[in-house]
Amino acid sequence: MGTFSLLGRLFGAQVDQAGESLVGALVAFDPETATQVDRDALAEKIQNVAKKFAAAKQDYDKEQNDVVVKEAQIAQYLTTLDIMVGQLERQEISQAAFDDFFAGIEESQAQLVQEQEEADEAKAVKDELDDILKILTQQLNDFDKVTSKALRDVSLAQSQVEKEKLKAERQAELSNLKSGLGADSTAVRKLQEIAKKAKIDAEAAKTVREITAKPQTQAEKMEAMMAQAKQAGAPAVSTMSAAERVAALKAKTKA
């Protein structure tokens, strides 16, 4: 319920549609301030009713006091009238004096009826204002309860929104981090690509060389095998000293 709707229901005020829109905007912008506006208006109404109740109570107390005073006065008059009855019988007072006093009591009794009616009316006003004050006070208490719960709900919702936003931000950050797991830097990847290409080029060159190499003739194969055989059958390089070699040579000559 909007501020002006609430106040219109409580106070019988005419609600202006533009004012309702304004309060709606205020609630959306600052719900706590908006509800405080409602509460302040209700509290002000309670204060005004409380002042009227206090004045009505004073009026009632005055009227009720007038009744009590008039009743006490009439009671004294009646007591005096009892005495005057004896005086009249003893002819200590005249009939006219007695009748005049008697008429005064009747007038006081009529005034008492009027005073009682005024006291009753004052009491009715006082009681009605008291009932209104109690209703408004209860409405204020209910308003505080509802408002407190509403504000808690708003705060919880806002907190949940913030949590969801933070969760989304963290998830996005983790996704960004995961996207880089197991991957090398751009420079490393470039070097790997170059090395891979160089290896492919080397294998290709080897293959081409092997394919395009001139095959050996039978004579070349024979020469190669003979060279290997000679190399294998050649005597080992002598490890004798020069003197031993000379002695060996002389021995061969004598033989």
Residue 198, pLDDT score: 75
Q: Cα separations (Å) of 74 from 62, 111, 129? A: 18, 10, 32
Cβ-based neighbour number of residue 61 at 10 Å: 14
CA triple 14-15-16, angle to 5 deg = 120
Q: Is 15's pLDDT higher than 60?
A: no
Distance, in Å, from the CA atom of 47 to the CA atom of 86, rounded to the nearest integer, reads 59
With a CB cutoff of 8 Å and minimum separation 6, the contacts of 1 are 9
Average pLDDT of span 236-254: 67
pLDDT tier, 60 (very low <50, low <70, confident <90, very high otherwise): very high
Q: Is 45's pLDDT higher than 70?
A: yes
Residue 232, pLDDT score: 58
Say which residue, 195 or 36, is predicted with more confidence. 36
Q: Is 172's pLDDT higher than 80?
A: yes
Distance, in Å, from the CA atom of 190 to the CA atom of 178, rounded to the nearest integer, reads 21
pLDDT tier, 1 (very low <50, low <70, confident <90, very high otherwise): very low
Q: What percentage of the chain exceeds 70 in pLDDT?
A: 69
pLDDT tier, 58 (very low <50, low <70, confident <90, very high otherwise): very high
Q: Is 220's pLDDT higher than 50?
A: yes
Average pLDDT of span 141-154: 82
The pTM of the full predicted model, rounded to 2 decimals, is: 0.50
Average pLDDT in the chain: 78
Q: Is 167's pLDDT higher than 50?
A: yes
Secondary structure of 189-252 in HEC code, one letter for each residue: HHHHHHHHHHHHHHHHHHHHHHHHCCCCCHHHHHHHHHHHHHHHHCCCCCCCCHHHHHHHHHHH
Domains in the chain (CATH in brackets) are 3-156 (1.10.287)
Residue 180, pLDDT score: 55
Q: Is 114's pLDDT higher than 60?
A: yes
